[in-house]
């Protein structure tokens, strides 16, 4: 009778469940918690966790056994991927390739596992991919070793709890269900569609809150999860809410959800439909809902049905069949073919060496032509990079003056204009008479689809007229319509003649000269190269609403400003990123841009 041990721990406690198989059934023998909190409130070291777990197991006469470890959502990287249709045996490598491109922190050493999800009517494949840091895997294995245990599997916790619920759910066509599992320090919110996990979230619980405050905080998380599920799961709406537990710990939250969200909450006791043995049959743990993931892991392992996500045994491409067992004849035939090919290669080696020598001579004769073409291409690329961020600052100033509120409502104390290789930005510091005028400024700056970063506003008690201080940043996207015909600027690279072609070669001097002339004609000169292109449509981004005491940008100068009618435009330049000059000039709204002084030229 094999015995399995499921283990999970956090900073406050370790939870352990032990079960064995009896025929085709699973019998749960032990389920208990081990306190891990230190007297001074600090988090215990991993070695200390292992020692306390080992002591608790020894007290119950439980020796070394295969250990199934559960890990929470907060400890991994998780993302839903959309993949093109592909055979099942190629899916693991396709998922790893796509995950390495879309995940921001993982590398080739991270274990990556996945589970397919229902894509509805879409032709593409959808999977939930999960990755875990190899350092965390080593840390978990070291903790198990210090507890005299051997980690056999590393399972993602929300999938295990959902598997246990689906195993005992009597609904053959379950609706979209939200499962809530309250743990010691976290709460798992898992959305299931047709019995499969489609979305999961993990929120951290505050240890200092009472039951009422904690329930209200979780109520907001439940609302957000329901809304996210409807947006991300092709219109599926949560129709049922299930809470893991016997109702004692969840009573306050259950009543709050039923009263404010109008859902009929179901309670799911993880021990309710399992066979219990010994003292566990007489007295279950104080918080039975916390053992749902562990019991789900044990049930899947005992049934041999496999686990959705296992970081120690991730899905891999099936190993190819061993050719030595069934293809001996083909191997012998292949060896004979290889010997024949080697003989033919030796017979033709002299001719091939001679031909290679001729081609090397021809290749060296074309090195100068290739280098000249490469240089022309580099010049064209540099000109294009320059033109993409070549903004006409006078036009930008005029647009601001035409769209901003009148000077009676808004004044500006400082305007910084910066251009770089990745775009540009206009930073405006100023004052308004009323707080509502700040919203007018933001709306005017967003015209044309521009992206605006707001630093908020606050009251400047030193001023009596314009007393609302603000700072706004307008992000200018690089121009995307600048293209120079590189084929006209760079001479074509001559092809190396084949073995059947004539060995006579002529220097394409005339073609190179024509290509050089075309390349020079393609270079932008003068004002014609500086074209103002409206930025691409982009959603506006505000860093928070404007409040009375909202923070301004760090280091922003707070200088006195004058009304628009008394302002004189003046421009100063200061160095910016990529050696591109920036214009720092006070600008007042509703005033036409100056026409006497041209904007400073910008060189790449």
- When mean pLDDT is compared over 157-161, 234-238, 552-556, 560-564, the highest value belongs to 157-161
Percent of the chain with pLDDT over 90: 30
Phi first, then psi: give them for residue 430, nearest 5 degrees.
Answer: -170, -170
**Coil/strand/helix, residue 539:** coil
Same domain, 234 and 254: yes
139 pLDDT tier (thresholds 50, 70, 90): very high
C-alpha distance across the termini of the chain, in Å:
76
Same domain, 486 and 367: yes
Q: 558 is in which domain, residue-wise?
A: 390-481+532-584
Answer with the one of 92, 113, 131 that is the final residue of a domain.
Answer: 131
Q: Provide the number of structural domains found in the chain.
A: 5
Angstrom distance (rounded) from CA 288 to CA 117? 29
Write out pLDDT tens, residues 416-426: 999 877 888 89
**pLDDT, position 582:** 38
Mean pLDDT of the region 478-483: 74
The tokens describing 439, both together, are 């919203």
| Tally: H helices and E strands in the chain | 16, 20
In a domain? residue 145: yes
In a domain? residue 314: no
Same domain, 265 and 215: yes
594 pLDDT tier (thresholds 50, 70, 90): very low
In a domain? residue 596: no
Least confident of 129-138, 368-377, 394-403, 508-517: 508-517
Same domain, 149 and 18: yes
Task: Decide which of 202 and 333 is more confident.
Answer: 202
Residue 160 has pLDDT above 90, yes or no: yes
Question: Mean of the per-residue pLDDT values for the chain?
Answer: 78
Sheet hosting strand 581-584, strand order edge to edge: 451-459, 468-476, 423-432, 410-420, 581-584, 572-575
Angstrom distance (rounded) from CA 343 to CA 534? 67
**pLDDT, position 306:** 85
Answer with the one of 358, 376, 405 that is the final residue of a domain.
Answer: 358
Same domain, 275 and 398: no
Mean pLDDT of the region 438-453: 88
Same domain, 191 and 291: yes
The tokens describing 100, both together, are 């390495």
**Coil/strand/helix, residue 385:** helix
Beta bridge partners, 283, equal none
Q: Is the pTM for the entire model greater than 0.85?
A: no
Q: Which residues contact 93 (CB under 8 A, 6 or more apart)?
A: 317
Residue 134 has pLDDT above 50, yes or no: yes
In a domain? residue 292: yes
Residue 531 has pLDDT above 60, yes or no: no
Residue 574 has pLDDT above 50, yes or no: no
Same domain, 489 and 477: no
Same domain, 240 and 369: no
Question: Is the CB of residue 17 less than 8 Å from the CB of residue 291?
Answer: yes
Q: Which residues contact 571 (CB under 8 A, 6 or more apart)?
A: 583, 584, 585, 597, 600
Same domain, 9 and 113: no
Same domain, 348 and 415: no
CATH of the domain at 213: 3.30.420.40
In a domain? residue 315: no
Q: CA–CA distance from 76 to each of 71, 79, 117, 133 (Å)?
A: 8, 10, 19, 7
**pLDDT, position 331:** 78
Residue 295 has pLDDT above 90, yes or no: yes
């Amino acid at each position: 009778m094999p015995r399995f041990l499921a283990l999970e721990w956090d900073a406050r406690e370790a939870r352990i469940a032990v079960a064995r198989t009896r025929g085709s059934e699973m019998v749960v023998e032990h389920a208990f918690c081990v306190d891990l909190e230190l007297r001074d409130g600090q988090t215990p070291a991993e070695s200390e966790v292992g020692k306390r777990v080992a002591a608790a197991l020894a007290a119950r006469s439980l020796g070394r056994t295969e250990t199934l470890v559960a890990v929470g959502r907060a400890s991994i990287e998780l993302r839903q991927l959309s993949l093109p249709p592909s055979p099942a045996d190629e899916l693991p490598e396709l998922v790893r390739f796509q995950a390495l491109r879309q995940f921001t922190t993982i590398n080739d050493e991270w274990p990556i596992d996945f589970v397919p999800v229902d894509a509805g009517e879409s032709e593409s494949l959808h999977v939930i991919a999960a990755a875990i840091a190899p350092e965390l895997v080593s840390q978990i294995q070291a903790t198990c070793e210090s507890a005299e245990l051997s980690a056999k599997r590393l399972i993602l916790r929300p999938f295990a709890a959902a598997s246990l619920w689906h195993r005992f759910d009597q609904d053959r066509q379950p609706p979209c269900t939200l499962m809530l599992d309250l743990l010691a320090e976290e709460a798992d919110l898992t959305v299931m569609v047709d019995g499969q996990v489609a979305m999961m979230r993990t929120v951290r619980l505050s240890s200092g809150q009472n039951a009422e405050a904690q329930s209200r905080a979780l109520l907001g998380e439940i609302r957000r999860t329901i809304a996210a599920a409807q947006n991300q799961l092709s219109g599926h709406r949560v129709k049922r809410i299930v809470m893991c537990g016997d109702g004692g710990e969840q009573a306050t939250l259950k009543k709050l959800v039923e009263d404010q969200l109008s859902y009929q909450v179901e309670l799911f006791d993880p021990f309710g439909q399992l066979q219990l043995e010994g003292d566990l049959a007489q007295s279950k743990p104080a918080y039975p809902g916390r053992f749902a993931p562990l019991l789900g892991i044990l049930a899947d392992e005992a049934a041999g049905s496999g686990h959705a996500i296992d970081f120690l045994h991730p899905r891999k491409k099936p190993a190819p069949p061993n050719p030595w067992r069934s293809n001996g004849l083909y191997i012998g035939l292949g060896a004979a073919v290889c010997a024949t090919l080697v003989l033919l290669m030796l017979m033709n080696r002299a001719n091939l060496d001679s031909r290679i020598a001729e081609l090397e001579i021809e290749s060296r004769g074309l090195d100068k032509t290739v280098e000249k073409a490469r240089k022309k291409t580099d010049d064209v690329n540099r000109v294009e990079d320059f033109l993409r961020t070549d903004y006409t600052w006078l036009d930008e100033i005029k647009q601001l003056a035409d769209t901003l509120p009148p000077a009676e409502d808004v004044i500006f104390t400082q305007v910084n204009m910066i251009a770089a290789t990745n775009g540009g930005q206009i930073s405006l510091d100023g004052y308004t008479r009323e707080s509502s005028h700040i919203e007018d400024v933001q709306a005017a700056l967003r015209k044309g689809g521009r992206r605006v970063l707001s630093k908020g506003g606050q009251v400047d008690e030193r001023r009596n007229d314009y007393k609302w201080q603000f700072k706004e940043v307008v992000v200018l996207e690089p121009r995307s319509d600048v293209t120079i015909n590189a084929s006209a600027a760079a001479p074509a690279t001559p092809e190396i003649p084949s073995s059947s072609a004539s060995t006579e070669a002529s220097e394409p001097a005339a073609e190179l000269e024509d290509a050089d002339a075309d390349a020079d004609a393609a270079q932008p000169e003068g004002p014609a190269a500086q074209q103002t292109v409206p930025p691409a449509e982009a959603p506006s981004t505000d860093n928070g609403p404007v409040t009375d005491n909202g923070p301004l940008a760090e280091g922003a100068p707070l200088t006195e400003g004058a009304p628009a009618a008394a302002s004189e435009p003046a421009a100063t330049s200061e160095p910016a990123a990529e050696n591109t000059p920036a214009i720092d000039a006070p600008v007042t709204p509703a005033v036409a841009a100056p026409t006497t002084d041209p904007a400073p030229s910008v060189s790449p």
